[in-house]
Amino acid sequence: MKVLMISLDKGLLGKGQLGDVVSRHAEYGQYAKKLDIIVFSRVGFNFNQISPTVFAYPTNSANKFLYLVDAYKIGCRLFKKDNYQLVVTQAPFITGLAGWFLAKKFKAKLLVHYHGDYVKNKQWLKEKWYNFLLVYIARFISRRADGIRVMSQGIKNKLIESGIQAEKIRVISTPVSLVKCGRWDEKAAAELKSQYPGKKIILFVGRLEKEKNLPLLLRALGTVKNIYPNFILLVIGDGRLKEEWSDFAKNSGLAGWVKFIGQIEHEDLVNYYAACDFIVNSSTSESFGKIFVEAAACDKPAIATSTTGSREIIIDGQTGLLSPLGDSPALAKNILRFLNNPALAQNMGRAAKESVSKRFDGGINTREIINFWRELIS
């Protein structure tokens, strides 16, 4: 089968990669005769061959307002060369719109992904003024898509409540290789811990974009440090708000408690999971939360805001701790619970590993994704 994807992930172009996005798409390509990926990007990116059957094409747009037009032009050119049977889009918004135009023009099937918790999420709507417009685009695209893939049952339930047909929605979370995540370099992890003697290591992993809401975590840590000062927050990831949030940390008196690591390779990330005491996520719109599964594979529990995705993975009080969206005091209280009771964190970490090993198998998820593709084009 021949598949055309439209993506936002510049990691597919060899830049800004956080996690296993390249290897994951290379694996998808093993089941396809051709898998081409159009990636929304600004000027300065190059074509990237990921594997013998997987190719990534940047839009190299002059500005973000041209992403839709440029993706459509590239898609038309690619369709004339390869008659794709399926168009897959990363989101139901602008990538979804580009995918819908292409699928309609070339009579291909359309599969739309929901990687975020956008449906009936008041917190997400408040983040950007144009999110209200995106909701209408998502509704338009979702009703016309041949299939919809969501990361959690909670998102599926919301879509059904919004009037989307249940039959065309599949819950298939992002594949995570528990075996790879469970293999870390003991020496490297020990060296990381030795850099912060006498301190608990808290880990944040994610793109530094508004929906990750790092300032909420920083405000919580401002409270925590006055009660339990012996910790360090390591922030792994990059994004447009890195400099702004770094300044926010300094201005909040957290310069000695927060360190921005930047982008790292996925094989190195596993060592950070192994070295940390627990991870924290303060997102407003997490639909799955792959980092919770990866950390659990390394025996580490998570503290998170109660998004649809985090509730799908974290069993509150058993494999981690959840706090209400936007509630900084509640987040601080949960962080202090782990800092003051290391045994509790360790026990929940072991329980988290046992839980994800039963529920999340990357190999099974990959096969389910491919089977969904085949079903749509059959």
For 80-137, write each residue's pLDDT tens digit: 999 999 999 999 999 999 999 999 999 999 999 998 888 888 878 888 889 999 999 9
Tens-digit pLDDT profile for residues 132-187: 999 999 999 999 999 999 988 889 999 999 999 999 999 998 888 776 777 788 99
Tell me the mean pLDDT in the region 293-312.
Answer: 92
pTM: 0.79
User: What is the C-alpha to C-alpha distance for residues 368 and 378, in angstroms, rounded to an integer?
Assistant: 15
Sign of the torsion formed by the C-alpha atoms of 183, 188, 190 and 193: negative
The pLDDT of residue 357:
85
The pLDDT of residue 312:
87
The CATH 3.40.50.2000 domain(s) of the chain lie at 2-176+362-377, 178-359
Q: 166-174: long-range contacts (C-beta < 8 A, 24 or more apart)? A: 170/368, 170/372, 172/365, 172/368, 172/369, 172/372, 173/288, 173/290, 173/312, 173/360, 173/365, 174/24, 174/115, 174/288, 174/290, 174/365
Tens-digit pLDDT profile for residues 28-46: 999 999 999 999 999 999 9
The pLDDT of residue 66:
97
- Using DSSP, how many helices (H) and how many strands (E) does the chain show? 16, 14
> Which has more pLDDT, 15 or 352?
352
- In order of 174, 250, 298, 305, the CA distances from 360 in angstroms are 9, 38, 14, 21
Q: DSSP H helical segments within the chain, as ranges?
A: 21-29, 67-81, 94-106, 122-127, 131-144, 153-161, 178-181, 186-194, 214-224, 242-251, 266-275, 290-297, 308-313, 328-340, 342-359, 362-377
**Other beta carbons less than 10 A from residue 194's beta carbon:** 9
HSE (CB half, 13 Å, CA atoms) of 348? 26
User: What is the C-alpha to C-alpha distance for residues 59 and 110, in angstroms, rounded to an integer?
Assistant: 20
The pLDDT of residue 18:
56
The fourth-level CATH superfamily of domain 178-359 is Glycogen Phosphorylase B; (3.40.50.2000)
Q: Lowest-pLDDT range, 17-26, 278-287, 332-341? A: 17-26
- 299: phi > 0 → left, psi -120 to 50 → alpha, else beta; which? left
User: What is the C-alpha to C-alpha distance for residues 40 and 59, in angstroms, rounded to an integer?
Assistant: 5
Rg (CA), the chain: 21
The pLDDT of residue 368:
95
The pLDDT of residue 266:
80
The DSSP H or E segment spanning 260 is strand 258-262
Tens-digit pLDDT profile for residues 178-236: 767 777 889 999 999 999 999 999 999 998 988 899 999 999 999 999 999 999 999 99
Q: What is the pLDDT confidence band of residue 17, given thresholds at 50, 70 and 90?
A: low
User: What is the C-alpha to C-alpha distance for residues 141 and 316, in angstroms, rounded to an integer?
Assistant: 34
Question: According to CATH, what is the number of the domain 2-176+362-377?
Answer: 3.40.50.2000
The pLDDT of residue 329:
98
Tens-digit pLDDT profile for residues 337-369: 999 999 999 999 999 999 988 888 778 889 999
Q: Is 178 exposed, middle or buried (0-12, 13-18, 19+ CB in 10 A)?
A: buried
Tens-digit pLDDT profile for residues 239-274: 889 999 999 999 999 999 999 999 888 889 999 999
pLDDT at 370 over 60: yes
The pLDDT of residue 19:
63
Percent of the chain with pLDDT over 70: 98
The alpha carbon of residue 62 and the mean position of all alpha carbons in its chain are separated, in whole angstroms, by 26
The pLDDT of residue 116:
81
